[in-house]
Copies of this chain bind each other. A is one copy, B any other.
Amino acid sequence: MVVLMRVLSRRLRESIGPAAPARPRAVHSVAEGKRGSRIIMSPPLVSLDLPDVWAPNFGHSGPPLNYHQTNGQTAAMIDGKLIAEGIRSRIASEVRRMKDSIDRIPGLAVIMVGQRKDSQTYVRNKMTACEEAGIKSVLAELPNDCSEDDVLKALLSFENDPSIHGILVQLPLPNHLNEERILNVLSLEKDVDGFHPLNMGNLAMRGREPLFIPCTPKGCIELLIRSGIEIMGRKAVVIGRSNIVGLPTFLLLQRHHATVTVVHAFTKNPEEITREADIVVTAAGVPNLVRGNWLKPGAVVIDVGTHPIEDPNHEHGYRLLGDVCYEEAVQVASALTPVPGGVGPMTIAMLLSNTLDAAKRAYDFS
């Protein structure tokens, strides 16, 4: 089904869900120093794990950009909210079919540590979406100062609960908790986020298949496919290389036979490279990083960024910005996702889809 709707203005709505958890910021000058250094001897891998620090691009300062204009036309908006609604309604009917056939429903457990406002919103949205689709959802809320054992105990109780088919640990965790050690305990069968390294390896390797595709990247690809955009043979650029968005998005686009370049904070002239792409997926975590002159005329742009920016004039006291400068991009791209209402709703829909798949697998129901 081709769903392309044209809009002339950007509507800002409350966020439906997260595209990526906030990443810690580092001081820019430090990173600049690291970027300038040369690695000519063979260092251990761990020392290469430098943070990706981008120069932020608030406020559109500087001279006006000389970007291409496609005869004043605006791009088609890829309406993630609408597409996600369609998917969620099909999931709901699958859940009903499961209930009617075998008297079982899928179950999702969420573990949330601490009182982060954004995490609370995201978790609430996920649980509401579960409820609407007929999926059981359970929340374990742990205090910010809980121990790793507390988290593991909650996790294991869900692991042993046969009515729970998917478990999701809301990230980021407080710094004193070891994310890797906690996620390692999660069984592959219930890892509906798809962040387990074995799952990632199976996503990466030809001839193998992961049990779950991470939700946000899967949502990006579904947006492209359901908007009738061909991926095979096209040039794609993924901006950002995080484990939860950039990396799996690269792997998925390549599985669909795009020619993919991963642009990151150490890339020289990212705008030049991005301007070559037919498809651009941005998950850099920097508001307005991608200006109009970063885009090839006619490019398709999927914006994963979700950045709350204080705005006293706005209903909730803040508004959301993406990685892409929407006002400029809309004049250059052929299609793009808004923020909010683009990738966010798809992330939730894919989480429901993965949870349904997990339950079908557990009950051998097809």
Binding site for B on A (CB under 8 A): 35, 37-42, 45-46, 48-50, 180, 196-202, 204-210, 213, 221-222, 225-226, 228-233, 235, 241-243, 247, 251, 254-257, 259-264, 266-268, 273
Contacts and interface: CB of A to CB of B under 8 A. Distances in A.
A347 to B, nearest CB: 16
Contacts of A228: 40
Contacts of A204: 197, 200-201, 204, 247, 251
Listed from nearest, the 6 A-B pairs whose CB atoms lie closest are A201-B201, A197-B201, A200-B201, A261-B261, A257-B266, A259-B267
A56 to B, nearest CB: 20
A196 B201 contact: yes
B197 A202 contact: yes
| Copy total for this chain | 2
Given A201-B199, A257-B50, A206 B243 contact: yes
Contact of A256 (B39, B199, B254, B263): B39
A80 B277 CA distance: 35
5 contacts: A39-B231, A42-B221, A48-B256, A48-B257, A206-B241
Contacts of A226: 42
Contacts of A199: 201
A259 B180 CA distance: 26
Nearest to A248: B204
A213 B43 CA distance: 13
Nearest to A227: B40
A266 B201 contact: no
A208 B48 CA distance: 11
Contacts of A268: 233, 235, 259
A39 B230 CA distance: 7
A233 B264 CA distance: 9
Contacts of A243: 205-207
Contacts of A37: 232
A215 to B, nearest CB: 15
A35 B205 CA distance: 20
Given A45-B209, A197-B201, A197-B204, 12 more contacts: A38-B232, A39-B231, A39-B256, A40-B229, A46-B209, A197-B198, A199-B201, A235-B273, A254-B262, A257-B264, A257-B266, A259-B267
A49 B196 contact: no
Contacts of A207: 49, 180, 243
Q: Which of A40, A196, A255 has the most CB of B within 10 A?
A: A40
